[in-house]
Amino acid sequence: MPYTAKDYAGLIGMEGFSETLLKNHFTLYQGYVTNTNKVADLLGGLAAEGKTATPEYAELKRRFGWEFNGMRLHEGYFENLGGKAALDPGGKLGKALAAEFGSVEKWEADFKATGALRGIGWVVLYQDGGRLFNTWINEHDAGHLAGCTPLLILDVFEHAFMIDYGLKRADYLGAFWKNVRWAAVEARLK
């Protein structure tokens, strides 16, 4: 059964994100969904033909992680946007962050510092049992913490901010922070 791109048009009008930026970003995400389906179909065809020992099959297997994770990371990113309320430090997530990092403010400083690293990629707050980690992911398919649950996802590829902010990544991070939908993030917490 093919994957279908989700509709995130409800994010249009969000403070700090132009309609042009968001529509371009949605189109890019839709490309990951399309390519996930294409690669899965091609792999199925090659397997059905008994061509699993071919270079084409090997490269498509490697490519599948890029497309699939690009799809899922974008979904998590868009789904944790659209909020207006601040993180409740007394809520379940706030308490977990304070327990792991010493305070919500220390966690926030670490997350933002990770988002400010030079390079392209993602920042993900992961949960592993009772532990929480802010992690940098260089590419969609490399750097994930296996078995961990992504709680908060920040896209720091240029397509996520350059149209609106140029090289001012810090300004983008500020806009992102104002729009986190903390209820969605907390709902991912186990």
Residue 47 near residue 114 (C-beta atoms within 8 A): no
Tell me which DSSP letter residue 16 carries: T
pLDDT at 142 over 90: no
Report the DSSP beta bridge partners of residue 95.
Answer: none
Name the 3-class secondary structure at 37.
helix
pLDDT band at 1 (very low <50, low <70, confident <90, very high): confident
pLDDT band at 157 (very low <50, low <70, confident <90, very high): very high
Domain ranges of the chain: 17-79, 92-188
Q: How many residues does the chain have?
A: 190
Name the 3-class secondary structure at 139.
strand
pLDDT tens-digit series, residues 51-61: 999 999 999 99
Distance of alpha carbon 34 from alpha carbon 24, whole angstroms: 15
Range of lowest pLDDT (73-82, 105-114, 121-130, 135-144): 135-144
Residues 94-118: what's their mean pLDDT?
97
Does residue 75 come out as left (phi exceeding 0), alpha (psi in the -120 to 50 range) or beta? Answer: alpha
Q: Residue 95, Cα to own-chain centre: how many angstroms?
A: 23
pLDDT band at 141 (very low <50, low <70, confident <90, very high): confident
H or E segment at 124?
A: strand 122-128
pLDDT tens-digit series, residues 60-85: 999 999 999 999 999 999 999 999 99
- Report whether CATH 1.10.10.60 matches the domain 92-188: no
pLDDT tens-digit series, residues 25-49: 999 999 999 999 999 999 999 999 9
